[in-house]
Structure 1
Amino acid sequence: MNPNFRTTDPLNPVHIVSFSGARRNASQVHQLVGMRGLMLDPQGQMIDLPIQRNLREGISLPEYIISCYGARKGVVDTAVRTSDAGYLTRRLVEVVQHIVVRRTDCGTIRGISVSPRNGMMTERVHLGSADYVMVGVPLLVIWSNREKQQVLLRVNLLGNRGPI
């Protein structure tokens, strides 16, 4: 994607949504400002008529109906994957139900080092002091609802110790 977002306005909502890694990606930005492109029918075959308008301009009724095929297929696929994930979660809970964490800080001096690779954080990061955390390139953006402020930190190396 264009590095212009990072250099001019890293807090641009389109940049934050598309590069946060939270279920959004650059192709959705293309659909917002470019064109939607080719869609799939319920059998998974490409429909020959591409959607040439974007979501900012609005789409016509036939384009909307063509888009609905893929949306319904996506919802069904998500439901199938959710049931598989629920089964896996249930099995994991059965396996570890006898383990008890008694302290929040184990006191170890050894931990896991997490560093950026190629300018991007590859691991997910969770900080207990913040309400909302996103990892960007190369910024760590923290929104705290208690303090109503935004904090930007350069991240070179993060350390984690204790139970994850």
Structure 2
Amino acid sequence: MKDDPAQRKQRAMLVVVVVVVVVVVVVVVVVAVVAVVVAVVVVVVVVLVSVAVVVVVTAVLVVVVMVVVVVLAVLKIAVICGPVWLKAIFVVVVVVVVVVVVVVVVVVVVVVVVVVVVVVVVKVVVKVAAATINTYWHLGGSSKVNNSFHIKIISNSSSSNIQYRKLNTKHKSI
């Protein structure tokens, strides 16, 4: 059974279009992953200076959008001259690209928010730890000296009063 030249040409075009679609989807996914990784690395390296975070995230999103626009423009030019099934494949590619771009934007925003929250929490913990250590040393604390405090609670009918008095006795720990 012989294939006529029109069917061969149509199958060859289909193979080319499928290859182009696969390459476009792979390129978009790779660009999306690279954009997320770059955003995370730069945000962590810059240690979240507010302006730098906004600039980095904006730059990553602009690069992703530019790549998507160029890819879609090239595909649209190819589709204009093609048959109906090529237009259908184009619609599928557009949907995939839009979904990938939305996912990239969401992931970048979530990563930035998570990193900001982590850095703020770490800063608070460090400040609390520093304040605790400063208070400890200010009170004369040391690993070799046991400071004793006497707490005296004076209570009467009208109010309660708590007094703290540091005892002068220092005992060396054994």
TM-score using structure 1 length = 0.29
Whose radius of gyration is greater, 1 or 2?
Answer: 2
- Give the structure, 1 or 2, with the largest relative contact order (CA under 8 Å, sep 6 or more): 2
The structure with the largest helix share of the pair is 2
TM-score normalised by the chain length of structure 2: 0.27
